[in-house]
Amino acid sequence: MKNDTNKQWLVNAQPVGRQLEDADFKLQEVPLTAPGEDEVLVKTLYLGFDPAQKGWMENISNYVDPLNVGDIMRGSGVGQIVESNSPKFKEGDLVSGMLCWQEFATLNAAAVNKVPEGLPPTASLGVLGATGMTAYFGLLDIGKPRAGDTLVVSGAAGATGSVVGQIGKIAGCQVIGIAGGTDKCKWLVDELGFDAAIDYKNENIPDRLKELCPGGIDVFYDNVGGSILNDCLSHLAMKARVVICGGISRHETGRMPAGPENYFNVVFKRATIEGFIVLDYMSQFPAAGQRIGKWIAEGKIKYKEDVQEGFENTPRTLMRLFEGKNFGKQLLKIADPV
């Protein structure tokens, strides 16, 4: 190894009740840690970003260990093995795992997996990673779509929402996406095959829902929360299923939004609201990955990546998620493979 140091981004503050700031992160340089027995040294090539990372920093997450001030910022990544003390991997292998925000990661070999062949390595951070699994299990297991259902997806142009809508089309649903901006809405309809899209920045959501969903919403897959969730609850069909995946709207004000005023329509429509954590389905990831990969090969699922560059831009890349700047799965390129 020519490099004998490792740059890392640390958590420098807990952004509770506010948006992320540059000062929430601290860059440090430390000596490189050589791999021990059954460990590997991984050079980070790409990092992936998800809204949940802010929740980890806030110490409010109760499904993974929280992050404390001084910890290396947690995050998924794709990297290349540069040194291996494990029979499972050899130098040059491309792997994915929780590499965290650092140029090099020294990890137990069990903490990483070889990236699937046939698609770009970055697919392991999005459509074939936790993002795709979240879309797959949230819709199919919780939403239970049936042919002829009307499916509405909020955050539809995001990495998760865009896959949800396409799986909905495969299941025979009429799919309506809610996204911000003309370009994103056009992409959903023209490229991904959504039946319609609502531009929440320029259109009245309740009026458009009345127009597009005259029989009500059978399945609502929510990535946003807040007022959009409230609007969709007022348009539920009988026996509707509401899937709660994310609530990125709370980051706009830095606090939890008020409870939805239209929640009692769940009673009137005999609907269900159910949340889920994708980690509960980890044992089923391989089978789901094969199925999604087949759909990609058949042209039934397309995906988009928003790739920024430069390790120094890591904090700003996470902030893009909460500023609505990303178009597709948010990634950051750190280095090229050897």
Question: Average pLDDT, stretch 307-319?
Answer: 98
Question: Average pLDDT, stretch 174-190?
Answer: 97
Q: What whole-number distance in Å separates Cα of residue 97 and Cα of residue 107?
A: 10
Q: Considering the entire predicted model, what is its pTM? A: 0.89
Domain-located, residue 287: no
Domain-located, residue 308: yes
pLDDT of residue 60: 65
Structure confidence at residue 2 as a pLDDT band (50, 70, 90):
low
Q: What is the CATH number of the domain that holds 177?
A: 3.40.50.720
Domain-located, residue 298: no
Q: Are 162 and 269 found together in one domain?
A: yes
Report the mean per-residue pLDDT for the chain: 93
pLDDT of residue 258: 64
> Has residue 101 got a pLDDT over 60?
yes
Domain-located, residue 297: no
- Crossing angle of the two packed helices 205-212 and 226-233, in degrees rounded to 10: 40
Range of the domain at 255: 130-279
Q: Are 70 and 160 found together in one domain?
A: no
Q: What whole-number distance in Å separates Cα of residue 191 and Cα of residue 185?
A: 10
Q: Are 151 and 256 found together in one domain?
A: yes
Q: Are 120 and 160 found together in one domain?
A: no
The rounded percent of the chain whose pLDDT value lies above 90 is: 83
Q: What is the pLDDT of residues 186-211, one digit of tens each?
A: 999 999 999 999 999 999 999 999 99
Which residues have C-beta within 8 Å of that of residue 276, sequence separation ≥ 6? Answer: 137, 138, 141, 142, 243, 244, 245
Structure confidence at residue 87 as a pLDDT band (50, 70, 90):
very high
What are phi and psi for residue 302, nearest 5 degrees? -115, 155
Question: Average pLDDT, stretch 259-275?
Answer: 93
Question: Any idea which of 91-105, 143-157, 246-260, 321-335 has the lowest mean pLDDT?
Answer: 246-260
For the chain, what is the domain count? 2
